[in-house]
Amino acid sequence: MLYSSLRSLKIHFIHAKPTQVKGQKPKKVLPLLLMHGWPGTVREFYDFIPLLTTPSDKSDYVFEVIAPSLPGYGWSQGSSKTGFGVAQVAVVMRNLMLRVGFNKFLVQGGDWGSIIGSNVASLFPENVLGYHSNMCGNNSPLGQIKLVLASFFPSWFVDSQHASFYKGLGHMFSTILEEMGYAHIQASKPDTIGNALIDNPAGLAAYILEKFSTWTNPSFRSLPDGGLTKRFTYDQLLDNVMIYYVTNSITTSVRLYSESMVASQFALAVDSLPIKAKSGCTRFAHEIVHTSDSVLANKFPNLVHSTHFSDGGHFPAFELPQQLYDDFVSFVQKADFPVILDLRSRYGVSVESKRDLHLERVPTPVPTGCARFKSDIMQFLDIQLQDKFTNLVHSTYHKQGGHFAALEVPKVLYQDFIEFVKKVERKFRIKSL
């Protein structure tokens, strides 16, 4: 569990580094910003991330994954000021990637992760190599006009083989009436619903788990248990609920709706900025809403990957991680991104490769101090060290202590270190800060 302070907010994130398989040709490495939505958390990615970081025959790439808890979600601090919508969150997410050390990276997300990721790609084209989403949308004025026209003239906008995915305005309005009540209250009265759920674990579970039923497959609504265990285990689902409960973050999480669905946010017109990066859009059959390639065209002028799946719903990383992984790496293979990180030089280098570097033969020219403690596992004489440590300015032997000197004799180790520092100061005439 890692944290970074950005714009006075403490942001929690998972940092998962790729592995290397001994004897296998090193994979190309790409940094990936992976984002969840509501009512999800980073728990959605526990089975998805290992697929991304483990070398596979299906891809020439592995990924160094940064998966943050969105501000106000889980262990990430929520904003104490108004005016913190998706555009501002996008700035924080981009800055997080820069802080971790990645100037260029991929973006993947669904739900809010899709919208925030779209904002990151639109606002910072110099940083985003590619964008992939399982919930691509186009909220630009032109996109909305095309969406309406597609409902009346579907053959103009939709390939006949995927017609079942695009059900028109009638189905959209029906979905809004039946399924979007939560969004209305969260956009208009977030603190009302939030405070009602804070100290109410049963109510919080009911409020969240209903979405994992309906949004996974609408037919599950007719089942006695909502079909929850058809795709998830209770442990997985309750882990997700408990993250909201123990971090007291349900209220701050739903405020993202009220901060994003306001005139001041729409006035930024980020939705009208095209995404220049190579993009990939995948649709899972039971997603709440789908947008066709023709409707997406002005928002995604560089759409290189578009797929439809006959199964799956709103939470594919949680529900069908292998299928989402396969689609994501297919997009990356098509896009043929340049190498950003060299796995061999960064981590995962085999023991044989490390030996080939002969680092033990490279001398250490900086001022060095060596302290020996009597019961340590092994000791080296100065004469043995002199070709390695060419600037040995401090050498001591102590009659007490062993391998864990900082734990056993901390005062002795501290005093030895201070003496070393003083010798360096005297020799190089350095004045302590």
Phi, psi of 233 (to 5 degrees): -100, 160
How many Å from the N-terminal Cα to the C-terminal Cα in the chain? 33
CA 106, CA 335: separation in Å to the nearest integer?
11
99 close to 86: Cβ distance less than 8 angstroms: no
8 Å CB contact between 370 and 395: yes
Q: Is 5 helix (H, G, I), strand (E, B) or coil?
A: strand
Mark residue 16 as left, alpha or beta (left: phi above 0; alpha: psi -120 to 50; beta: remaining).
Answer: beta
Give the CA diameter of the chain.
89
Q: Which of 286, 314, 394, 398 is catalytic?
A: 314
Superfamily designation of domain 13-169+263-335: Alpha/Beta hydrolase fold, catalytic domain (3.40.50.1820)
Quote the pLDDT of residue 356.
Answer: 46
Residue 305 near residue 283, CB atoms below 8 Å: no
pLDDT at 357: 45
Residue 20 carries which side chain, given as an amino acid letter?
Answer: Q
Residue 394 phi, psi (nearest 5): -150, 125
- Assess whether 358 carries a catalytic annotation: no
Question: H helices within 180-320, ranges in order?
Answer: 181-188, 190-198, 201-214, 234-246, 250-260, 263-266, 293-296, 316-319
Identify the residue whose tokens are 């790439």: 61
Question: Helices H, strands E: what count in the chain?
Answer: 20, 11
Predicted local distance difference test score (pLDDT) of residue 194:
97
Dig out the tokens for 287 from the structure. Answer: 């997603």
Element of type H or E holding 335: helix 321-335
* DSSP-H helix ranges across 336-429: 343-346, 351-357, 382-385, 405-408, 410-428
User: Residue 129: phi, psi to the nearest 5?
Assistant: -75, -40
Catalytic residue among 73, 166, 245, 257: 257
**Which pLDDT does position 268 carry in this prediction?**
95
Q: What contacts 224, CB < 8 A, 6 or more positions away?
A: none
Q: What local confidence, expressed as pLDDT, does residue 19 receive?
A: 86
Q: Is 5 left (phi over 0), alpha (psi -120 to 50) or beta?
A: beta
Per DSSP, the three-state class of 29 is strand
Q: Is 336 one of the annotated active-site residues of the chain?
A: no
pLDDT at 430: 67
> What pLDDT score was predicted for residue 120?
98
Integer Rg of the chain from CA: 27
Range(s) of the chain covered by CATH 3.40.50.1820: 13-169+263-335
Q: Is 290 exposed, middle or buried (0-12, 13-18, 19+ CB in 10 A)?
A: buried
Distance CA 234, CA 229 (A): 7
Q: What angle do helix axes 86-100 and 250-260 make, rounded to 10 degrees? A: 120
**Considering 12, 111, 245, 305, which one is annotated as catalytic?**
111
Query: Is 326 tagged catalytic?
Result: no
Amino acid at 104: K
**pLDDT tens digits in sequence order for the chain, 433 residues long:** 567 777 689 999 999 999 877 777 888 999 999 999 999 999 999 999 999 999 998 899 999 999 999 999 999 999 999 999 999 999 999 999 999 999 999 999 999 999 999 999 999 999 999 999 999 999 999 988 888 887 777 777 777 777 778 777 777 778 888 889 999 999 999 999 999 999 999 999 999 999 999 999 999 999 999 999 999 999 999 999 999 999 999 999 999 999 999 999 999 999 999 999 999 999 999 998 889 999 999 999 999 999 999 999 999 999 999 999 999 999 999 998 877 654 444 544 444 444 444 566 678 888 899 999 989 988 888 887 887 888 899 999 999 999 999 989 999 999 999 999 988 888 777 665 4
